[in-house]
Amino acid sequence: MSEVHPRVEREARTVEAMIRLYCRQRHASSWALCADCAELLAYARARLNKCPFQGSKPTCARCPVHCYQPEMRERVRAVMRYAGPRMLVHHPLLALLHLIDGWTIRPPKRR
């Protein structure tokens, strides 16, 4: 398996922080994730690790390839809708870097 680019690893940390925030506040869990959120995190990490764009990967919202299954995509959207605005308070550096990535990294052209 190919090595994961640091940019993708940072995006994985951002997704994990969002899922943990969502789970803690929506599912009343403490540090451990509930089974549904743990499954979502494992799925998101697997998708990121297999991303063909790696270092040139845009944020998922701007990506030309939608690699999530429809159900999982909706679950991640629900997490992001809830946790996204709260990330500036709870994880300001990850939130800021994610915003910068969204503005600066352009999606690759589709072939």
Total domains in the chain come to 1
Query: What's the whole-model pTM score?
Result: 0.85
Task: Tell me what pLDDT residue 1 has.
Answer: 45
Total Cβ atoms within 10 A of residue 88: 12
39-65 tens-digit pLDDT:
999 999 999 988 888 877 778 777 788
Q: What are phi and psi of 3, to 5 degrees?
A: -75, 145
Q: Residue 6 is encoded by which pair of tokens? A: 């640091």
Residue 1 located in a structural domain: no
58-110 tens-digit pLDDT:
787 777 888 899 999 999 999 999 999 999 999 999 999 988 887 887 766 65
Residue 67 located in a structural domain: yes
Domain that holds residue 34: 6-104
Residue 110 located in a structural domain: no
Residue 44 located in a structural domain: yes
Residue 69 located in a structural domain: yes
Residue 73 located in a structural domain: yes
Residue 111 located in a structural domain: no
Residue 47 located in a structural domain: yes
